[in-house]
């Protein structure tokens, strides 16, 4: 669910300076050369997935729409640019009236992607499109990296819920975006209240070791928590001795105790011991939550353990070793003049070292087999083959400068679950490997 659904009074500030200096100098030069108004097409894509990843996850699209809508050069921003002599007065006048008036198409948020997938396509004049490069890439690269890690963790966790709980391990604003991306990827809740307020994500939390240490005894701490939050609360049982803490927890809360949390030690061994002890004490319905620097591999290793939920932090907000998706934003087509009717000409970079790109305004479709399982990502220019017409992936996000595709976050989360479920079973493997789907190109010419 997003802020619009909740009716929350949250304003997004101007995003105009979430850009790089050279984007403004390119604008100034293009205005002087008379090429700024040429109709242009930029595409956002990645040439490869992070090592070992089988698929990527599109996340951050909703935040991109907010950023584009709020890309405005107000008096303070213009004053800063003037003071620093970033651009000349003619360019400042142009920026003062800036409003993106073009179109944006993209993979719907929550969808999966592969190398070469045209994840987002931005169309308009060169001037208005080139300014959006950095803000779009910074959002998509961060959020998609977090969502991909979250998706792998959710796949490893199966039906057991995941809690995002490490806002303190990253920048305070990045933490909110990470919570949102984690929810898209399959996490059930977050500990971050700002994320709950901004995006309507369910929030959870009970106590830390400091609360136990505050009291004269562990029993006193447990009693205070139960008195305040009720018997269904979650008690942290590894401050001192786990066995003694579990016994005390059940004595204080009774067999109705909601859950215990384990935050250290050999989680596999301790979880088995705690489950046995809880059952012997009659707390057969008390759940076990484990935390402590978990990642997808640790979660997978606990699949056979009597664990009911996982709390994940540092590894999630750092993308589990891959904090970016290496997405790029490239000009792939442009008109030969400023005439609105001038045809588009494919353009592309021809450098060596794996940084080549493919020109042309692209479409994308996903081919499936007879069982509905995805078997290839098809990317092309020109006419879409009839057999792929109803399998196209890009949807219209912005039309004539107006956002047309805002969605509740729960819809995005559900979409990802469906998209991941339609991939081959090998997509869930955590062993090293290539993208689970090949990318096939049709009607394309590299460097044209």
Q: From first to last of its 448 residues, what are the pLDDT tens digits of the chain?
A: 444 444 444 455 689 999 999 999 999 999 999 999 999 999 999 999 998 899 999 999 999 999 999 999 999 999 999 999 999 999 999 999 999 999 999 999 999 999 999 999 999 999 999 999 999 999 999 999 999 999 999 999 999 999 999 788 888 889 999 999 999 999 999 999 999 999 999 999 999 999 999 999 999 999 999 999 999 999 999 999 999 999 999 999 999 999 999 999 999 999 999 999 999 999 999 999 999 889 999 999 999 999 999 999 899 999 999 999 999 999 999 999 999 889 999 999 887 666 778 999 999 999 999 999 999 999 999 999 999 999 999 999 999 999 999 999 999 999 999 999 999 999 999 988 899 999 999 986 544 3
Q: What span, in angstroms and rounded, lies between the C-alpha atoms of 236 and 249? A: 9
Tell me how many degrees the CA angle 416-323-116 measures, rounded to the nearest 5: 60
Q: In the prediction, which pLDDT does 432 show? A: 82
**How do beta strands 189-190 and 162-164 pair?**
parallel
Sign of dihedral through CA atoms 221, 222, 224, 225? positive
Domains and CATH numbers, the chain: 3-131+326-442 (3.20.140.10), 147-321 (3.20.20.70)
Contact 304, 269 (CB under 8 A): no
Q: What span, in angstroms and rounded, lies between the C-alpha atoms of 249 and 48? A: 50
Contact 223, 214 (CB under 8 A): no
Q: In the prediction, which pLDDT does 12 show? A: 54
Q: Tokens representing 31?
A: 């205005």
Of residues 317, 318, 312, 303, the one with CA closest to residue 204: 312
Q: Tokens representing 237?
A: 């049982």
């Amino acid at each position: 669910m997003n802020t619009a659904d909740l009716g929350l009074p949250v304003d997004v500030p101007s995003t105009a300076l979430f850009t790089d200096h050279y984007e403004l100098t390119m604008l100034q030069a293009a205005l002087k050369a008379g090429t700024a108004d040429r109709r242009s097409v930029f595409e956002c894509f990645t040439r490869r997935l992070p090592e070992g990843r089988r698929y990527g996850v599109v996340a951050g699209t909703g935040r991109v729409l907010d950023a584009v809508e709020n890309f405005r050069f107000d008096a303070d921003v213009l004053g800063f640019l003037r003071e620093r002599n970033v651009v000349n007065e003619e360019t400042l006048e142009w920026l003062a009236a800036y409003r993106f008036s073009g179109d944006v198409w993209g993979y719907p948020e929550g969808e999966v992607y592969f190398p070469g997938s045209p994840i987002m396509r931005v169309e308009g004049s060169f001037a208005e499109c080139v300014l959006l490069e950095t803000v779009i890439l910074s959002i998509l690269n961060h959020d998609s990296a977090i969502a991909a890690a979250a998706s792998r963790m959710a796949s490893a966790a199966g039906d057991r819920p995941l809690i995002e709980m490490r806002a303190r391990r990253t920048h305070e604003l990045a933490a909110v975006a990470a919570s949102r991306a984690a929810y898209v990827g399959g996490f059930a809740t977050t500990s971050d209240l700002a994320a709950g307020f901004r995006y309507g994500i369910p929030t959870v939390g009970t106590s830390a070791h400091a609360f136990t240490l505050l009291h004269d005894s562990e029993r006193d701490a447990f009693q205070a928590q139960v008195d305040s939050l009720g018997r269904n609360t979650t008690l942290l049982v590894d401050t001192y001795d786990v066995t003694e803490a579990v016994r005390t927890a059940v004595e204080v809360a009774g067999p109705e105790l909601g859950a215990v949390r384990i935050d250290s030690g050999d989680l596999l061994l301790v979880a088995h011991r705690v489950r046995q002890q809880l059952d012997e004490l009659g707390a057969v319905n008390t759940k076990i939550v484990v935390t402590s620097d978990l990642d997808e591999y640790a979660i997978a290793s606990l699949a056979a353990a009597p664990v009911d939920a996982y709390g994940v932090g540092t590894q999630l907000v750092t993308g589990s070793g891959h904090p970016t998706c290496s997405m790029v934003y490239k000009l792939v087509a442009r008109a030969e003049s400023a005439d609105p009717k001038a045809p588009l000409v494919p353009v592309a970079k021809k450098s060596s070292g794996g940084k080549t790109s493919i020109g042309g305004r692209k479409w994308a479709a996903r081919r499936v087999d007879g069982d509905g399982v995805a078997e290839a990502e098809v990317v092309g220019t020109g006419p879409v083959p009839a057999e792929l017409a109803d399998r196209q992936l890009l949807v219209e996000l912005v039309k004539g400068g107006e956002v047309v595709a805002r969605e509740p976050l729960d819809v995005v989360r559900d979409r990802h679950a469906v998209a991941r479920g339609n991939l081959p079973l090998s997509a869930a493997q955590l062993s090293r490997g290539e993208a689970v789907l090949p990318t096939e190109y049709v009607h394309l010419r590299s460097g044209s």
